[in-house]
Amino acid sequence: MENPPDPDIRVPAKAQHPRPSGLNDNTVEALGELSKALETIHRVRGHLYSAHQLVGGADLTLDRAVRLLREAGHDEVAERVKRELIGRNVLPGRWTFQVVEEFDDGYYAAFQEIERDAREKLAGGRRHIYEAEMKERRRTHGMPGHEATPQE
């Protein structure tokens, strides 16, 4: 087992995410694109959870709307809201929690596994090689705010 790095030793970002020997530029770029796509899917998952919470909150708000409609004498409208909207599926047979679960267990899990497998097979499991090399190219060595690591 490898010893953990000494936090007092200054190691450039590229060295923390070293390119395995023999890994060509196209492979590094392809893994970077795969990682970028996965990051987008992480954002999609967050949006699904937001939709889940928003729809649930709207459904609970309908209880108050129904009560106020009844108090205002609009029983027919209140009954329609209660009967047709409260507790309604957002997709056939599904509330939003079921949509989120299916996404998490299906597409999201597969995407994560495939990205991880590609990194393992092609780069020894190393993450963010493309970004680490970009950081080294773009930062101004020796300038405050351009350190390679927090320890630098």
Q: pLDDT, tens digit, for every residue of 76-96?
A: 999 999 999 999 999 999 999
Q: How far does the chain reach from its first CA to its final CA, in angstroms? A: 26
pLDDT of residue 87: 97
| Contact assessment for residue 99 and residue 91, using Cβ atoms and an 8 Å cutoff | yes
**pTM of the complete model:** 0.79
Q: pLDDT exceeding 70 applies to what percent of the chain? A: 89
Least confident of 2-6, 49-53, 140-144: 2-6
